[in-house]
Chain A
Amino acid sequence: MSTFQGISYIPSLRSRGGLLRVLDPRTKLLAMALLSTLIFLTDDLLKISVFLILLLLVIALSKLSILRIISSLKAVLFLILITTILNSFMVEGKVIWSWKFLTLTEEGLRFSLLVAIRIIFISLFSLVVISNIDQGELATSLRRIFKPLRRVGVISDDFALGLTIAIRFIPVLLSELDRIYTAQLAKGIELERLSFRKKVDFWISIMVPMIKTTLKRAEDLALALEMRGYYEETRGDLTDISFSAWDLIAIYFLLAFTLWVQLG
């Protein structure tokens, strides 16, 4: 029973190639960071719709299955609903409808729509980008991106490795959660019939082994790295990455797009 697999939109997602493959992972990460920031800097509906067109284009190029993409939205659905509802009623402006202390304003509706679109854009865009970068590429990219930090005394490799492991661990932790959850159920506990208070007890009883095994895993991983002779100075990269003409084109495009959004 993969109770928690629904939350995990990073594992089991491997895009089958597609045109996005020609881009260097660093370009994709740059696009992800830049566009996710930019979309918050504009309120213009015309510009926002260009973002959406861009998103559709990227989805089409990535060859990800539409079904997977839609199901991954389930994970953020709750967030979208809450922010939309709250925003619709909390922003002041021209009142459309009101009942007791609740007032719905035109500005509120507009604003919450904007926020919902932004959340969807960010989650889907990063989903596409991340599923188009494999583990090795990600590790190498992060290492290279953080390299300049070395000049100011930051151990950039450790930092990059930490980040890579953190990302790698998300699916592992989710399957761990699933295993612990089922282990508790297997003691004959009927979750559906527990009172609210006992349900809370039950979830706490799951979090404790969860934290413990996570710490244990982290320790094992550190040990395993050491046993295999991981040293910052000597290590090389398993996967090589390099910029191509396509990256140049993409970066020019991103630049032009940024200028248009900000100044246009």
Chain B
Amino acid sequence: MRTWRILLKNLGLAFTDGLEVLRDISLEILPDNIYALVGPNGSGKTTFMKLLAGILKPTRGSIEMLDEDEIPLNMRREVLLSFQNPDISFSHLTLRRDLMEVFNLRGERLEDIWARLADLGIPPEYVDRELDTLSYGWRKILSLSEYLLLPSKLLCLDEPTANLDLLWSMRIWGFLFRERAKRVFGLIFSTHRPEELLIADRILYIDRGRIKEVSHRDLLAINNDYIKAMLTPQMANILANWDTSLAEELRYFISEATEGDKA
């Protein structure tokens, strides 16, 4: 089922200093796939996601999101982007107030939000905890939860699990996979964790602003130290025998394992 697609054509992006941070990008992004965006520090992952969310505009080429009738959609509204740093995303002292504000500004109803928060594994008392008194990891969890609860066509997560412990990383992924079973939405996440490549269907490999869509097996052939550092013998072995059903199995396992799991 294909409800939209994003088309990038010969896209380039330069900041005011004139250097192209993204270049020659031609891609098609579909809701059916989960994409992992990987590449070295400073290669352009965050910039690319800002572009998808309509926050940055390309300086060359084009990017558009088309619905099934080829009618352009407003990417600012349809694509959400959660930032690496949780502290810039809260405008209120508590998660409850913050969520109410965001829904108010988006002109949407909250409805079953609190129940879904519980499904994510967030204890009810955290909804009213003062954010400043929480640890960095918890602030990140709560800021992520906002994006997971907001309706969108495409969700971009910039290093969602950096700073989270392994259990919380699993809970976040589990929740996302369960949500995706209920409704279709695209998912792109950036990561520096090799094991997270295994839950993606496709890999977007970015190096110095150039992005290539590759399969898991293709990674083995990439001659780049950043990728090589990710490929432990075990990883290399898994990728060599990669089959798309592996990602599906792993996602199923994670969503089952974290369902009804309370912090």
Contacts and interface: CB of A to CB of B under 8 A. Distances in A.
A205 B101 contact: yes
B227 interface: no
Give the size range of A's interface with the partner: 20 to 34
A231 B60 CA distance: 51
B262 interface: no
Range for the number of chain B residues in contact with chain A? 20 to 34
Interface stretch (B89-97, B111-119, B248-256): B89-97
Nearest to B16: A2
Contacts of B81: 186
Q: Is the interface of B mostly helix, strand, loop or mixed?
A: mixed
Contacts of B102: 187, 189
Contacts of B90: 208-209
B74 interface: yes
A189 B80 CA distance: 9
Interface string A157-189: 000000000000000000010011011111111
Interface in B115-137: 132
Interface stretch (B145-153, B164-172, B181-189, B211-219): B145-153
Contact of B91 (A2, A198, A206): A206
A183 B104 CA distance: 16
Contact of B88 (A5, A198, A213): A213
A198 B105 contact: yes
Contacts of B74: 190
B73 to A, nearest CB: 12
A189 B55 CA distance: 11
Contact of A188 (B76, B85, B88, B92): B76
B37 to A, nearest CB: 16
Contact of B76 (A180, A185, A206): A185
Contact of A190 (B77, B79, B87, B132): B77
A208 B106 contact: no
Given A1-B55, A189-B106, A201 B76 contact: no
Nearest to A215: B132
A186 B87 contact: no
B87 A216 contact: yes
Nearest to B82: A186
A183 B77 contact: no
A202 B92 CA distance: 12
B80 A187 contact: yes
Contact of A201 (B57, B104, B147): B104
A29 B101 CA distance: 46
Contacts of A1: 55-57
A212 interface: yes
**Most-contacted residue by chain B among A2, A176, A206, A209 (CB, 10 A):** A209
Contacts of B92: 205, 208
A4 to B, nearest CB: 13
Interface of A: 1-2, 5, 176, 179-180, 182-190, 194, 198, 201-202, 204-206, 208-209, 212-213, 216
Closest 8 CB pairs of A and B: A205-B91, A186-B81, A183-B88, A183-B89, A189-B105, A180-B88, A208-B91, A182-B55
